[in-house]
Amino acid sequence: MEIKKINRLIGYGILVFLVGFLGLHLIEYVQLLMPVGSLLTFIGVFFFFKDTKLSDQFRKEPGEDALTYFWNVIVLKLWTFIIVVWMISMNLTLIFGGL
């Protein structure tokens, strides 16, 4: 799977999850989008680790300065990891706490 498709899968999964998260406060049945968004993101993360070499993902490009490298590589992957952990905790809360 190509990296752009993987990034879209992760991004759309996060968006669907956030719409489901809004269901906690607005419409109760929209919460069912949280596991769907999580599943999309988890599939994207699985293919990211399966298809890519991490040394290529964290490599600094020749014309790239340190700040651009930091934001484009380190911060985006760190925030994705934080959101995935949040998704896991919210899904566990949804499963054990109910709707």
Tens digit of each residue's pLDDT (9 = 90 or more) over 27-69? 888 888 999 999 999 999 998 888 777 777 777 778 888 888 8
- Alpha-carbon torsion angle 96, 40, 21, 94, nearest 10: 0
pLDDT at 23 over 90: no
Q: Whole-angstrom Cα distance, residue 82 to residue 52?
A: 20
**Least reliable range by pLDDT among 4-8, 22-26, 27-31, 44-48:** 22-26
**In the predicted model, what is the mean pLDDT of the chain?**
85
What's the rounded mean pLDDT across residues 6-28? 88
Percentage of residues of the chain with pLDDT beyond 70: 98
How many contiguous H segments (helices) and E segments (strands) does the chain have? 5, 0
Return the amino acid letter for 50.
Answer: K
H or E segment to which residue 36 belongs? helix 33-51
Higher pLDDT, 70 or 54: 70
Q: Is 63 helix (H, G, I), strand (E, B) or coil?
A: coil
**Spatial CA neighbour of 75 closest among 66, 88, 63:** 66
Residue 99 — very low, low, confident or very high, per pLDDT cuts 50/70/90?
Answer: low
